[in-house]
């Protein structure tokens, strides 16, 4: 099963009403929003209507909203150390 990963990169402000409606039908409400749709002719037709506004990739799997968010999340630059005791217990368990 393959999917279209569609990201809205340009807004449809000031464009014809139909364009906004197509974006709404695809589930794209604001810029940089990402949606996944199974590859099908009808979705392809919808993408064609808004081809100037979106970026499309073909992916194998539908990502959750959380996973899409984590892709964009920068490295925090730190990590939290575990308490000595719990680390000791973990090493014992293995």
Q: In the complex, which residues of this chain contact other proteins (CB under 8 A)? A: 2, 4, 10, 12, 14-15, 39-42, 44-45, 47-49, 51-58
Relative to beta strand 34-38, strand 54-59 is unpaired
Minimum distance from residue 90 beta carbon to other proteins (Å): 45
Minimum distance from residue 62 beta carbon to other proteins (Å): 14
Dihedrals phi, psi of 69, to nearest 5 degrees? -65, -45
- Alpha carbons 50 and 87: distance in angstroms, whole number: 53
Nearer to other proteins, 13 or 83 (CB): 13
- Alpha carbons 60 and 27: distance in angstroms, whole number: 20
Nearer to other proteins, 55 or 90 (CB): 55
Do residues 45 and 54 touch, judged by C-beta distance below 8 A?
A: no
Minimum distance from residue 71 beta carbon to other proteins (Å): 18
């Amino acid at each position: 099963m393959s999917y279209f990963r569609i990201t809205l990169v340009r807004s449809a402000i000031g464009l014809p009403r139909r364009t906004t409606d197509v974006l709404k039908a695809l589930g794209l409400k604001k810029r940089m929003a990402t949606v996944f749709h199974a590859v099908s002719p009808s979705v392809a037709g919808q993408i064609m209507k808004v081809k100037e506004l979106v970026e499309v990739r073909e992916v194998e799997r539908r990502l959750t909203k959380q996973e899409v968010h984590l892709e964009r999340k920068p490295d925090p630059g730190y990590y939290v150390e575990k308490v000595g005791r719990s680390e000791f217990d973990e090493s014992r368990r293995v």
